[in-house]
Amino acid sequence: MQGRKLRIDWPTLKWMIFLTVLACAATWAIRGILVRAQRMAAADTSASMFASIASGSPAKAVLRLDSVNGKELKGTLLEKQSETVYLAPFERAPAVIAVLTPDTSVVMGKPQDIKVGAVVQLSGNIDANHILQTNLVVILTGYVRVSQKAR
């Protein structure tokens, strides 16, 4: 018992390496999925919260688009009631203005889905003119329902 060495044969070593690489790849893939899911978490920004966001700060908002003019989007801010239901304000609220930047990426849809009437979640930074410089657009049109807020 005094001079016993642990001996691993070549096929066992190959399997150990394969399983280690597989575990690392699975961990990396799961982490990537969780990061993307967190980025796509629905925003819950009220009109008063959005109005008080300081210049240069990050912001997220769910809008129903009222106009799309090239890269400029104008829309009505919707309030989250549940994961699938958003409330439109009863009275006319000030429009949120957003601009699509060259760095803007679109998920859960295509750029062609950014049109009047679409429900979108926009993420980006607020500039000095209180315009949202968008870097991420999530198309929510087919996934959420918009209800009218009660009086």
Q: Which of 52-56, 65-69, 136-140 has the lowest mean pLDDT?
A: 52-56
In the chain, % of residues over pLDDT 70? 87
Taking the CA atoms of residue 54, residue 68, residue 42 and residue 45 in that order, the dihedral angle to the nearest 10 degrees is: 30
| Per-residue model confidence as pLDDT tens digits over 16-40 | 999 999 999 999 998 887 876 665 5
| The pair of three-digit structure tokens given for residue 113, joined into one six-digit string | 């889905």
- Determine the average pLDDT of the residues in 102-119: 89
Overall pTM surpassing 0.85 (yes/no): no
- Distance CA(136)–CA(151), nearest Å, equals 33
Average pLDDT over the chain, rounded to whole? 84
- Determine the average pLDDT of the residues in 140-145: 86
> How many other CB atoms are found less than 10 A from the CB of residue 93?
15
pLDDT above 80 (res 150):
no
* pLDDT score for 99: 93
